[in-house]
Amino acid sequence: MDAGLKRELEAKVYAGERLTREDGIALYESDDLAWLGRLAHHRRTELNGDRVMFNVNRHLNLTNVCSASCAYCSFQRKPGEKDAYTMRIDEAVRKAKEMEDEQLTELHIVNGLHPTLPWRYYPKVLRELKAALPNVKLKCFTATEVQWFEKISGLSADEILDELMDAGLESLTGGGAEIFDWEVRQHIVDHDCHWEDWSRIHALAHRKGMKTPATMLYGHIEEPRHRVDHVLRLRELQDETGGFAVFIPLRYQHDFVDSADGKIRNRIQARTTMASPAESLKTFAVSRLLFDNVPHVKCFWVMHGLSVAQLSLNFGADDLDGSVVEYKITHDADAYGTPSTMHREDLLDLIWDAGFRPVERDTRYNVVREYDAPPTLAQRRAEPQQVWA
Ligand code: SF4
């Protein structure tokens, strides 16, 4: 990038001016990672100071049986496959209850598009979870699942959301977004929920008072311009509804050979690499700068590893997900040594070690508890440094 353009972009960021599509593409073309981090950190600090938010949640996947076969997905199984599973409602409740001692505040539930499970299963599972864990907020279902419920129930998304909210739904999840541009989407997504339906369902949820997350799956066959396009669509919708609480760039994962059946399920693996840590940090930084009207940017550490998660806090991220005891979708695809469990104390140490102030939040980003400021660098140097995977 030439020095003139660099100065121009820098001036725009410091003046709080909105960046354009061309600006976003130019930022991705820059190899000056430290500069990108400085700009993103400026914006992140303006919005969120030295805070890093987290919540204590549990991820549950009620079923891995799915009618679709998205090219990158190593989670889905077809009915009758050896390790296909669908939880009974009491089983889901028992699993959720196991985390009670962790003082969890949120259950995060996403699932395959099960071909025969009836619609009534879903509100019922929510009601029983709510009855068993009344203080836990239920963040459940992608827009893709809601569109699936429309198909299997004959109801509209409006009626579906009303019933789910009545059963205890607090928020949708942000998945199913992947990359919206059809040029890429047609090669990786194998269901019918694309930008038109995804945005329709989130806008509807926002009108009903929900705050929802939005995700982006990056680092596969897309190019930076597709990431820019993705964020700009969301930014435009956010101008209308103001309902997105957080943006979550998710790093595409390679599959491993499944020891159960010797298969690699990811069908684009042979022609893809995974985003390097530097590319991930760049993606966090550019996302923070472009998506100027979303309050938070989250790093889902399971997909990045803990060291990159710590670094991402200097590249625009201000939210870490979460106190995860079990997360199947990523961990079916992960052989890279990322731990599968993190508890509140681990997360606090991770945030303090990175030099930030932990703040526990709830699903709607209300503050639950503020923690102490991080120790100074001198204090940290006085003790042996912790090494994070
Ligand atoms: S990404 Fe979701 S919809 Fe696509 S195959 Fe996997 S579980 Fe099914």
> Each residue's pLDDT tens digit in the chain (389 positions)?
889 999 999 999 999 999 999 999 999 999 999 999 999 999 999 999 999 999 888 889 999 999 999 999 989 999 988 889 999 999 999 998 887 777 788 999 999 999 999 999 999 999 999 999 999 999 999 999 999 999 999 999 999 999 999 999 999 999 999 999 999 999 999 999 999 999 999 999 999 999 999 999 999 999 999 999 999 999 999 999 999 999 999 999 888 777 677 778 888 888 889 999 999 999 999 999 999 999 999 999 888 889 999 999 999 999 998 655 544 555 454 445 566 667 788 889 899 999 999 999 999 999 999 999 888 878 877 877 777 76
Ligand 1 centroid to Cα of residue 348, in Å, is: 32
CB 112 less than 6 A from any atom of ligand 1 = yes
CB 70 less than 6 A from any atom of ligand 1 = yes
Number of the ligand 1 atom closest to the C-alpha atom of 144: 3
CB 76 less than 6 A from any atom of ligand 1 = yes
Residue 141 CA to residue 170 CA, distance in Å, equals 11
Residue 77 in domain: no
**DSSP structural state of residue 77:** B
Determine the pLDDT at residue 238.
98
Residue 277 in domain: yes
106 is in an annotated binding site: no
Query: How many beta carbons lie within 10 A of that of residue 2, not counting itself?
Result: 8
Determine the pLDDT at residue 178.
97
Determine the pLDDT at residue 327.
47
| 8 Å CB contact between 177 and 196 | no
178 is in an annotated binding site: yes
* Whole-number Cα distances in Å, 17 to 39, 54, 290: 13, 29, 10
Residue 351 backbone dihedrals phi, psi, to 5 degrees: -70, -45
Query: Is 0.85 surpassed by the pTM of this model?
Result: yes
Contacts of 34 (CB under 8 A, 6+ apart): none
Residue 187 CA to residue 375 CA, distance in Å, equals 47
Residue 351 in domain: yes
73 is in an annotated binding site: yes
CATH number at residue 351: 3.20.20.70
CB 176 less than 6 A from any atom of ligand 1 = no
Q: Tokens for 40?
A: 């993103």
CB 69 less than 6 A from any atom of ligand 1 = yes
Ligand 1 centroid to Cα of residue 64, in Å, is: 8
CB 188 less than 6 A from any atom of ligand 1 = no
Ligand 1 centroid to Cα of residue 69, in Å, is: 6
Position 138: which residue type?
L
| 8 Å CB contact between 251 and 274 | yes
CB 66 less than 6 A from any atom of ligand 1 = yes
* Whole-number Cα distances in Å, 258 to 75, 79, 82, 262: 11, 18, 12, 5
Determine the pLDDT at residue 321.
84
CB 73 less than 6 A from any atom of ligand 1 = yes
Residue 66 in domain: no
DSSP alpha helices (H): ranges in 291-336? 306-312, 328-331
Residue 71 CA to residue 145 CA, distance in Å, equals 18
CB 329 less than 6 A from any atom of ligand 1 = no
Residue 70 CA to residue 68 CA, distance in Å, equals 6
Residue 105: closest CA among 44, 174, 55, 41: 55
CB 75 less than 6 A from any atom of ligand 1 = yes
Residue 176 in domain: yes
Residue nearest to atom 7 of ligand 1 (CA): 112
Residue nearest to atom 2 of ligand 1 (CA): 112
Full strand arrangement of the beta sheet holding 106-109: 57-60, 106-109, 137-140, 169-171
Best residue among 61, 63, 65, 66 to mutate for probing ligand 1, ranked by most atoms within 8 Å of CB: 66
What is the enclosing helix (H) or strand (E) of 281? helix 277-290
Ligand 1 centroid to Cα of residue 319, in Å, is: 25
| 8 Å CB contact between 160 and 120 | no
* Whole-number Cα distances in Å, 103 to 107, 131, 183, 328, 358: 11, 16, 44, 21, 17
Tell me which residue range forms the domain holding 197: 21-56+142-366
Contacts of 102 (CB under 8 A, 6+ apart): 56, 58, 323, 325, 343, 344
Ligand 1 centroid to Cα of residue 141, in Å, is: 12
| Four-residue CA torsion sign, 44, 49, 54, 55 | negative
Residue 5 in domain: no
Give Cα 222 distance to the centre of its chain: 18
Ligand 1 centroid to Cα of residue 67, in Å, is: 8
Residue 180 CA to residue 261 CA, distance in Å, equals 32
Ligand 1 centroid to Cα of residue 382, in Å, is: 48
Residue 368 CA to residue 295 CA, distance in Å, equals 17
Q: Tokens for 186?
A: 């047609």
How many residues are listed for the chain in this entry? Answer: 389
Does residue 219 have a cis peptide bond before it, meaning omega lies within 30 degrees of 0? no
CB 172 less than 6 A from any atom of ligand 1 = no
- How many domains are there within the chain? 1
Residue 258 in domain: yes
Residue 218: closest CA among 27, 9, 21, 28: 28
66 is in an annotated binding site: yes
Residue 305 in domain: yes
